[in-house]
Every structure is written in C-alpha cells, then in structure tokens.
Amino acid sequence: MHTETAFAKINLALHVRARLPNGYHELETIFAFLQSGDTLMVTASDEISLEIFGLFGEELSNTNNLVLDAAQLMRPLAKTGCGAALSLQKYLPIASGIGGGSADAAATMRLLNRFWGINLPEASLMELAAPLGADVPACISSKTCRATGIGHDMEPIEDDSLDGSWVVLVNPLVQISTAQVFGAWDGVDRGALANGPLKKTILSGRNDLQDVAISFAPEIAEILELLEESDALFSRMSGSGATCFALFNSKLAAQNMIQELRANFPGFWTMMDTLK
C-alpha cells in the first residue's frame, strides 16, 4: 500500500485586498505547513473509488469529494485502464481553515503521480491543480510561501527562522463556510502585507477574515484571548476559520498550552505539531 500525508496548512497572515468580479478575492497570504495532517492510501483497482475513515470521516461524502476530483484530473495522464482504490484517514476538522480538503486533493495528486508512474514535476502538478481550488497548488508543494492574486501566484520563502517551531491548533468544532465568510467581508482594503524578514512580516500582519469569522463563531474570540495571554511567539486565526493557532519556541510551552486549552474548552479539537 502506498501512502501520502495531506499536510495541515495555516495562514500565518491573510490580507484580503479586493473582491473580484468573478467572485474570487485578491489577497496576500503566507502559507505554512505542519508535519502531519490527514493520510491518503492507495491500492491497485480497475476503477477509482474512495473510502473515508477517521475522527471526521463520517462527515464527508465518498462520492462527492475533492479527492475523487483530483484522481479524475490525474487519470488521463496515466496508462489506459489505471484505477485506484483510495482511502482517506480524516484527522483534521471539516471546514476549519487549515486546508483539509485542499490538502487532501493535493496529496491525492502527489500520491497518484507516483503510483501511476506519471512522474510530473512539482511545478506541473501545481499548474494542473489550479482548477480544484485556490489553496490546492500551494498544498501540492506544502512549503512555506507567499501567495498573491487569488492564491495561485506563489513565491517560496527561504527564511527558515520558524522551521521546527511548535504549533498548537484549536478548533471549537464549529464549521464555517469559506464562501460565507468571504462574502461577509466588508470590502475594505486595510493595506498590503509587508516585505522583509518572516517573523517581522508576520507580526505586522493580520487576518482580515478574523472579525468576520467571529461574528459567525464567537468561540473564536474566546480562544484567541486565551492564546494571546500565553507566551506564544504570536497567535492568529487561520484562513476563514474557525481554527486558531499559536507558535511556540519549545515543546514544553506548547504542551502547557494544550493542557490549558483542554481545561478551558473541553470538547474542542486540539492538535500539537511542528512546522515543516
């Protein structure tokens, strides 16, 4: 059995600059990725199929899923008659702002690229992935990068000052529609994302969707208040929510934060990992 990790994504900053006529938004963001996430597996088959397991597996369809869309996108590039029995272990919450569906689609493409012997280079996979969603090309590479436009125009970030930092994630298990949050954005351009050293850029940045998401899920504000009281390097909401994160210099500090979150918010989903 062949496997591939769908690395969890966080937006270290997210500046929404304009609403475009086609319904997308012009934005500036910094993507970063954790070492773990969901897991994709594949075995040989005559057809393309999908089984879903894991903590959040029951919430997803195994017939209407980005994983299958990604597989169908790859299939014409494979030898005639290629199929794939895909399995998804779903560990990340649904509609949570950490790229779950996009990361799953990207992992499917990386996995089938090897399994079917297509062997496209990463840049070609990223270009092919664009129709699947704004975050999917970034999730193909799963490397820290700065993205502009609708998220497809990416520039790798060579600054490794945050590599290996400990990350704490927390989600109130309230699903928030990305389209709903972007739709409720007030349209005000609050300025560009700075250039310069990564830490300085992030600290001066923001998430323009944070206040909007709080209006749909007030629990986000409570989470952020607790995270901001800690000794984290910084904390923020990721994407369109509702997952929030905090970065720490040490494993012990991250463990202490996890314990405090679980004590204050029993029943919320939490995760601890390091940045890639």
Binding residues are: 93-103
C-beta atoms surrounding 90 within 10 Å: 21
Binding residues for ATP: 93-103
Q: Which of 38, 90, 104, 135 is catalytic?
A: 135
Residue 274 to residues 18, 20, 32, 54, 163, Cα–Cα distance (Å): 32, 35, 11, 21, 8
Residue 127 to residues 23, 132, 153, 171, Cα–Cα distance (Å): 21, 10, 10, 31
Q: 139: buried, middle or exposed (CB in 10 Å: 19+, 13-18, 0-12)?
A: buried
153 is catalytic: no
Q: Are strands 84-89 and 48-53 parallel, antiparallel or unpaired?
A: parallel
135 is catalytic: yes
Rounded (5°) CA angle 23-92-14: 40
| Structural contact between residues 97 and 173, judged by C-beta atoms closer than 8 angstroms | no
Q: Which of 9, 38, 104, 273 is catalytic?
A: 9
> Residues with catalytic annotation?
9, 135
